Amino acid sequence: RGRKLLQWMLLLLLLGVGGYFLHQYTQRPDQATILEVNEEKVSISEAMVYYRLMELEFERMGSEKIWGLEILGLDPEQTALERVIESMIRIKAIKSSAGALNEKEKTELKSVAAGLAKLLGDEYCKQHYIDDEMLEKVVQENYLAYRYEAEATFLPGSNESEIQEKLRQTFARYDN
């Protein structure tokens, strides 16, 4: 009797776990979480913005033929993916300390996001459920992170070690 109960419990557990993963992978990319940084969820759509930018950067360095090559024993696709993840973690970790945007910055960054939309292209954005709001978020978070990093590095009396410690702690969560 106990064995039969254990079998049913295992079956229910497997169905529950399977249902969870099925639900995650059947969600639209803008709703499915691929990564969580400091309790902030990153959707597949947001990650695809970063990935496409990284693709463009790699292609600028080595042309579109770079994807079929192995350079110094490294696979460019795997390297790009790792850099995207590192970049998202870094930006999400730092931007929270950067303060808020003023109205002028918001306006200027809105036009930067429009330029990013053109760079990514309508087809890519539709395919990955990337909307204007998502692009504005990505642009604003990158701006805040880089602004904070620059201020902490170059302004007198600032503490660069604070950023390094915050990054070390955040990345330590993903090293396992």
Write the pLDDT tens digit of every residue in 119-176: 999 999 999 899 999 999 999 999 998 888 777 766 666 565 666 666 566 556 555 4
* CA distances in angstroms from 134 to 47, 65, 70, 166, 175, listed in the order given: 10, 30, 33, 25, 28
Residue 14: predicted pLDDT: 57
Higher pLDDT, 164 or 19: 164
Tokens in use for 102?
A: 């003023």
Residue 137: predicted pLDDT: 95
Residue 66: predicted pLDDT: 59
Distance, CA of 129 to CA of 125 (rounded, Å): 6
Regarding beta strands 33-37 and 40-43, do their DSSP bridges make them parallel or antiparallel, or are they unpaired?
A: antiparallel
8 Å CB contact between 116 and 140: no
Residue 42: predicted pLDDT: 86
Q: What is the pLDDT of residues 30-77, one digit of tens each?
A: 677 778 888 888 888 898 898 888 888 877 766 666 556 666 666 667
Distance, CA of 127 to CA of 173 (rounded, Å): 31
Residue 43: predicted pLDDT: 86
Higher pLDDT, 69 or 90: 90
Residue 95: predicted pLDDT: 82
Torsion angles phi and psi, residue 57, rounded to 5 = -65, -45
